[in-house]
Amino acid sequence: MNIDVTVSAISGEPAEIYLSEWLVSAGAEVAEGVPIALVEADKAQLEILAPAAGRVLHLKVQPDDQIRLGQVIAVLEQQ
């Protein structure tokens, strides 16, 4: 089953959110709860955690891309 990785609620609902860095690459195996990306919102850097264990199928955004709350930024194949 495929699982979408999204940017969920961030306190204060920032006006702009940017992907700072991917901590994984497509094809990587990840464990649930490990950081897979860093985003920047209102000058604070936050970790995006893997919602489940699996393999990274797609990275849908690139570093420095602006993203919005709820946007799918990656897809995992749950194992």
Q: Is 66 helix (H, G, I), strand (E, B) or coil?
A: strand
- pLDDT for the residue 10: 67
Contact 48, 35 (CB under 8 A): yes
Give tens-digit pLDDT for 8-56: 866 666 668 999 999 999 999 999 999 999 999 877 888 999 999 999 9
**Regarding the domain delimited by 2-78, which CATH topology (the fold level of the hierarchy) does it fall under?**
OB fold (Dihydrolipoamide Acetyltransferase, E2P) (2.40.50)
Helix (H) or strand (E) holding 22: strand 17-22
Retrieve residue 75's tokens.
Answer: 């897809």
In the chain, what are the domain boundaries?
Answer: 2-78
